[in-house]
Structure 1
Amino acid sequence: MEAEGLVTSSRGHGTVVRQRVPLKRLGIARYDKAKWRDGDEVAFIADRVASGRGYRRNEQTQTVSLIEAPPVVAAAHGLPEGAEVYARARLVDPTPGPAGRGGGFRVLYDAGYEIDHMKEELFARAPRPEEVKLLQLPPGEPVVELHRTTYTASGTVVEFAIGVHAASRFAWEYDFKVPDSAKDKKGQ
């Protein structure tokens, strides 16, 4: 049953049935400006509300540090490899963290960088050994890696985020207007 991901076992806690209902990770709706700019509902709270789950403020452990940009991060920002960037690492758990009113997008907004649009890419892959341990994955469970690039209206990249999610614990939802490039070209 553990190999199928139905139960987890750990020293001192025994074997327990895994929760099977994935957390719904909203696509576009989780970034609604009214939630973080005008209120204090950051994206992870929006996901929990949409999934019918409770939450507590400060339900994330976070670290923020100045690092040398890895190649994928440097490329996303149009920077040379090794340029200094701020990195924020988060793990959702019950340990309090320093999440502020409106979260990271509010910090950018207050600094004069209003977000306008994003690009998200999803990749399924096998987890690295450290991810298996950190995410407490059962044998054989894949992860989904999300790359999100956030832009201002002028095209300035203000955030590049990499999220690693246990595949069975999340479900993504996107609701968007279907483009019609032929119609758009006629109207120009």
Structure 2
Amino acid sequence: MGIGYRELANVLRLRIEDGTYPHDENGTLPKHEELAEEFAVNVKTVRQAVRLLEAEGLVTVVRRRGTVVRSRPPMKRLGAERYAKSKWKYGLVAFAVDREASGRTWTPGDQTNKIRQVSADAEVAEALDLPVGAPVYERARLVKDGTTPTHTLTSYYRPDQVEGTPLVNPTPGPAGHGGGFAVLTLQGFEPDAMTESLHARMPTPDEVEQLQLPVGEPVVVLKRLTSTKDGLVVEFARGIHSAAHFEWSYTFKIPD
């Protein structure tokens, strides 16, 4: 008598973890019929086991390719180190810092860029100390690791601080040499302090499509508030991150 689908899923999960089925762009599970023969079960049991692994984010069923093993080594998403002034003042933007810390290559084209003027919602208005509905610039980016989307990041700015700068230029990629923080510095609004908050939730249908998320994978929502040395807020940002693509890393001095 063959094993049940949960037991089969356990075996396949172990094979994924030990590398029997590689975690790379070419890694796939054997065909359903082959697994059914190997474990003396019917194809329905195999499908149920695969659905369980898909819900865990371990595999993705891709038409004409089969059951693809998802890449498991996550990219490091650094904490304070990714925003070091010594990096962006000399041309290295934040998402590139993460790529280099993870041993990955990157190009400016890994980040899209959509600029528009919108009315501030309640959260943006509170962050930028503006009335609800006041005009603000929205800079929305989709960031990819190669061809795979990893996260979105949407920043909001007061028009009087960024009008006529590269921050409102729709050219794809970072906002000039050193990115947005370098632009703000040249405008006289050098970023000096930052508050980030994180929480996890299940994605919306639009987020599933944009980030190409498998069934069951959550997202990590990041909110970032950036201010100058004298406390003036110069950016509010919201990011949606594919949870399986990042390992969040923070190094800090323990307060007395």
Please indicate, yes or no, whether the TM-score normalized by the shorter chain is above 0.5.
yes
The structure 2 residue matched to 1:168, chosen from 244, 247, 253, is 244
Q: What is the CA–CA distance in structure 1 between the aligned matches of 2:191 and 2:140, rounded to whole Å?
A: 20
Q: Does structure 1 residue 57 correspond to structure 2 residue 112?
A: no
Secondary structure at the aligned position of 1:45 is classed as: helix
Secondary structure at the aligned position of 1:2 is classed as: helix
The structure 1 residue matched to 2:192, chosen from 98, 116, 119, is 116
The structure 1 residue matched to 2:128, chosen from 61, 67, 77, is 77
Residues 147, 14 of structure 1: alpha-carbon distance in 2 compared, 3 angstrom cutoff:
same
The structure 2 residue matched to 1:104, chosen from 180, 189, 192, is 180
Normalised TM-score (structure 2): 0.66
Normalised TM-score (structure 1): 0.89
Max radius of gyration: which structure? 2
Identity %: 55
2:113–2:142 contact (8 Å) kept in structure 1: yes
Of the structure 1 ranges 145-154 and 94-103, higher mean CA displacement relative to structure 2 is found in: 94-103
The structure 2 residue matched to 1:9, chosen from 54, 61, 78, is 61
Q: What is the CA–CA distance in structure 2 between the aligned matches of 1:69 and 1:14, rounded to whole Å?
A: 44
Q: What is the CA–CA distance in structure 1 between the aligned matches of 2:229 and 2:65, rounded to whole Å?
A: 50
Q: What is the CA–CA distance in structure 2 between the aligned matches of 1:120 and 1:46, rounded to whole Å?
A: 17
> Match for residue 149 of structure 1?
225
The structure 2 residue matched to 1:135, chosen from 211, 216, 227, is 211
Secondary structure at the aligned position of 2:71 is classed as: coil
Q: Per-residue displacement from partner, 1:127-181 (whole Å, max 9, x unpaired)?
A: 111111111111111111000100101100001110100111111111112222x
More helix by share: 2
RMSD over equivalenced CA pairs, Å: 1.7
CA drift of 1:11 comes to: 4.1
Secondary structure at the aligned position of 1:61 is classed as: coil
Secondary structure at the aligned position of 2:55 is classed as: coil
Q: Per-residue displacement from partner, 1:43-89 (whole Å, max 9, x unpaired)?
A: 00000111111112321111121111121111111111111111111
Secondary structure at the aligned position of 1:147 is classed as: strand
> Match for residue 75 of structure 2?
23
Structure 1: runs of 5 or more not aligned: 181-188
2:54–2:216 contact (8 Å) kept in structure 1: no
CA drift of 1:98 comes to: 3.5
> Match for residue 184 of structure 1?
none
Q: What is the CA–CA distance in structure 2 between the aligned matches of 1:65 and 1:179, rounded to whole Å?
A: 41
Size of the alignment, in residue pairs?
179
> Match for residue 36 of structure 1?
88
**Which structure exhibits the higher relative contact order, with contacts defined as CA atoms closer than 8 Å and separated by 6 or more residues?**
1
More strand by share: 1
